[in-house]
Amino acid sequence: MRKLLFFIAVISGVLFFQACDKSEVPDAGFKDMERLSIYDYIVENDSLFSKYQQMLVAAGLDKTMSAYNPNGDGYTMFLPTNAAIDEFVATSDRYSSFDDMLKDKDFLGSLVRYSVVEAAILTNDFPFGALPEFNLSGQYLMIGFDGGIYSVNNEAPVSDELKNIEVSNGYIHVIDKVLTPLVYTTAEWLEGSSQFSIFNQAVKATGYGNVLNRIIEGDTVTVSSLTLLVEPDSIYNRFGIFSFEDLAKKISPDNNEYTSPLNSLNSFVGYHILEGSLFLSNFEETSSNYNSLGTMPVNINGNGLDIVINKGKVVFDTLVSTEQDTTLVDYITFFYDNSNFLTQTGVVHFINQLMTPQTARAAEQWFEFFEEPVFNQYRAEGGSFLIEDNSLLTTVNWTGGNDQLLFVKSEDEEEQAWNDDFIHMEGDFSVSYTLPRIVQGSYWLYIRANAFNVDNALIEVFFDGVKVGGLIDLTSGGNAQYPYVEFELGEVTLLDYKPHVITVTSLIPGYFDWDYVYFRPTYLEKK
């Protein structure tokens, strides 16, 4: 129902916005906003934004906000009012006055960069989750929606009167709170949140605190992309658990080796941590298994009105509406208003039932190299990236191919690759992709690649070292409108929940544009 209400509210907002012509966009004191830049708008409306204008100048971003975006289609600025900045300073432990804050150039730089997104986005294009482009700090901003109001990062409501202000280099949305850069990891957030004390103690006892706190790897700073599903203490209390000791006794009564992966409490905590940053919008309109750090994946189904976890595994309650009509609550769902919470190491969602590890059923799975950190950096930048050093990659390995591999995040609106990205090989090559763990079961296996180029290769495919399917001629099968083709490779049976390797080898040299790998459970009709 939450999703339905959100949809209705957004549609209502879209209809309202589309019903207004540009003259009805709130006028902040000038007649032709489209001729003014973001910075010009701020200067023209100094009664509302003079302090932010001073911050931009002090941080050296006034010229940036006066120009077009060289890296994308405009900017989106979430612009705080003078009152919002006054409140920020008044509640700060760091600064005694606004003038005091103006002297801290480094902090001002991070603060103003955090509020600017590398794309021009109207509110009717806001997702229920992360905005599609990074901000100038290289991080995502998250959009929530509650009571008819958009909010950014669950902290800054967007003004309903001063939003979608179109200027020459993007859009401005006025906010009445200052957006603050993320300064804590998931582990640090848990430590400071008293309402999650039971799970926090379990995290520390099992050693997962180090995982949720890990943002430094080697000599570079990187974000460990993880998603935490967590129950508040009140949920544990409902199940008769009032302390960490109660939880340990319930989950692992006979084994206190909590740091061992074989320990039940260790598996319980790991089951709450999913690989990657997953927002609620990522779960919508799909049902899939999501790999956890525990011994089993988590099934999340977003095809209904609610996004539900582990449907049909545990009955938590029975709702009686009439003498003949009862409804089983046999799923876990989210506290939507509190979810999509961002930290330096990922995303946090609050859930409404005690979540214990459950055996997952085979589900559809698509893999398109999102497990490769280097590729994810390139995705954020967009373009074509030549890689000549195999050791830079962790999940993709190749030989031949002129000793190089190309990763492409296309910026062409006509690109037909899924999510507009693919890897490209040339000549005589063999390229392997180590897939994440997949739930045991029988699947139809597919590979999608470009099949509309006479210079493409003839290939064969191996799964865990065993040849699957016949020879694939990539010179034909696609067309100008749909150049990519999904090739069926046959049925594979997976006996263990573990990573697998798929290898593509050229028999006749040529081009190979690899889009994704797809596993379809055999209980579903073959495509």
Residue 111 Cα to chain centre, angstroms: 22
Closest-CA residue to 496 (of 457, 440, 445): 440
Last residue of a domain, one of 350, 374, 393: 350
Domain-terminating residue out of 291, 318, 350: 350
Look at the alpha carbons of 247, 251, 252, 256 in this order and tell me if their dihedral is positive or negative: negative
In a domain, 180, yes or no: no
Cβ neighbours, 10 Å, residue 472: 21
Q: For the chain, what is the radius of gyration of the CA atoms?
A: 25
Full 3-state SS string of 261-276? CCCHHHHHHHHCEEEC
Neighbours of 99 (CB within 10 A): 10
Task: Give the CATH number for residue 252.
Answer: 2.30.180.10
- List, as one string, the DSSP characters of 1-67: -HHHHHHHHHHHHHHHHHHS-GGGSPP-S-S-GGGS-HHHHHHHTHHHHHHHHHHHHHHT-TTGGGS
pLDDT at 89: 94
Q: Are residues 170 and 295 in the same domain?
A: no
**Are residues 79 and 126 both part of a single domain?**
yes
Task: Give the H or E element holding residue 90.
Answer: helix 82-90
The answer to whether the CB of 54 falls within 8 A of the CB of 111 is no
Question: Contact, 41 vs 167, CB < 8 A?
Answer: yes
- Exposed, middle or buried, 98 (CB in 10 Å: 0-12/13-18/19+)? middle
Residues 325 and 412 in one domain: no
Same domain, 343 and 197: yes
Q: Which residues contact 250 (CB under 8 A, 6 or more apart)?
A: 239, 241
Q: What is the dihedral of CA 264, 265, 266, 268, to 10 degrees?
A: 90
405 plus 369 within the same structural domain:
yes
Looking at the structure, tell me whether residues 315 and 258 fall in a common domain.
yes
Q: Is there a domain that residue 230 lies in?
A: yes
Q: What is the DSSP string of 335-358?
A: -GGG-SEEETTEEEEEBSS-----
Question: Which residues lie below 8 Å from residue 14, measured CB to CB, with a gap of 6+?
Answer: 124
How far from chain centre, in Å, is Cα 378?
Answer: 16
Check residue 26 and give its pLDDT. 38
Domain membership of residue 357 (yes or no) is no
- Supply angle C-alpha 359, 269, 495, rounded to 5: 30
CA–CA distance, 162 with 171 (Å, rounded to integer): 11
Q: Tell me the C-alpha distance between 294 and 256, whole Å.
A: 17
- Residue 194, domain member (yes or no): yes
Q: What is the 3-state secondary structure (H, E, C) of 312-333?
A: CCCCCEEEECCCCCEEEECCEC
Same domain, 245 and 201: yes
Q: Is 516 exposed, middle or buried (0-12, 13-18, 19+ CB in 10 A)?
A: buried
Per-residue pLDDT of the chain (527 residues; tens, 9 = 90+): 444 443 333 333 433 333 343 333 334 333 345 579 999 999 999 999 999 999 999 999 999 999 998 877 899 999 999 999 999 999 988 899 999 999 999 899 999 999 999 999 999 998 878 888 889 988 889 888 777 788 898 889 999 899 999 999 999 999 999 998 887 889 999 999 999 999 999 999 999 998 998 753 333 333 358 999 999 999 999 999 999 999 999 999 999 999 999 999 999 999 999 998 898 888 988 889 999 999 999 999 998 878 999 999 999 987 766 666 778 889 999 998 888 888 888 899 999 999 999 998 899 999 999 889 899 888 878 899 999 999 999 999 999 988 999 999 998 888 999 999 999 999 999 999 999 999 999 999 999 999 999 999 999 999 999 999 999 999 999 999 999 999 999 999 999 889 999 999 999 999 999 999 999 999 998 88
Predicted pLDDT at 351: 98
Residues 55 and 202 in one domain: no
User: Is residue 358 in a domain?
Assistant: no
User: What's the CATH code of the domain at 467?
Assistant: 2.60.120.260
In angstroms, the CA 406 to CA 303 distance is 35
Please state the φ and ψ torsions of residue 409, each to the nearest 5 degrees.
-110, 95
198 and 171 belong to one structural domain: no
d(CA 516, CA 408): 13
Q: Extract the tokens encoding 37.
A: 């830049």
Helix boundaries (H) for 157-251: 186-191, 197-206, 208-212, 233-238, 244-251
Last residue within a domain, chosen from 297, 325, 350? 350
Same-domain status, 169 and 149 = yes
CA 158 – CA 332 distance, rounded (Å):
30
Q: Are residues 316 and 409 in the same domain?
A: no
Strand 429-438 relative to strand 405-409, pairing = unpaired
Q: Tell me what pLDDT residue 34 has.
A: 56
**Domain that residue 121 falls in:** 2-175
As for how many domains the chain has, the answer is: 3
| Residue that is written with structure tokens 């859009």 in the block | 171
- Asked whether residue 13 is domain-assigned, the answer is yes
Considering the domain architecture, whether residues 18 and 145 belong to the same structural domain is answered as yes
Q: Which residues touch 477 (CB under 8 Å, ≥6 apart)?
A: 451, 452, 485, 487
> Could you tell me where the beta strands, DSSP code E, fall in 127-215?
143-146, 149-152, 156-157, 165-167, 170-175
CA angle (11, 12, 15) in 5-degree steps: 85
**Predicted structure pTM score:** 0.72
Q: Does residue 219 belong to any structural domain of this protein?
A: yes
Q: Assess if residue 346 is contained within a domain.
A: yes
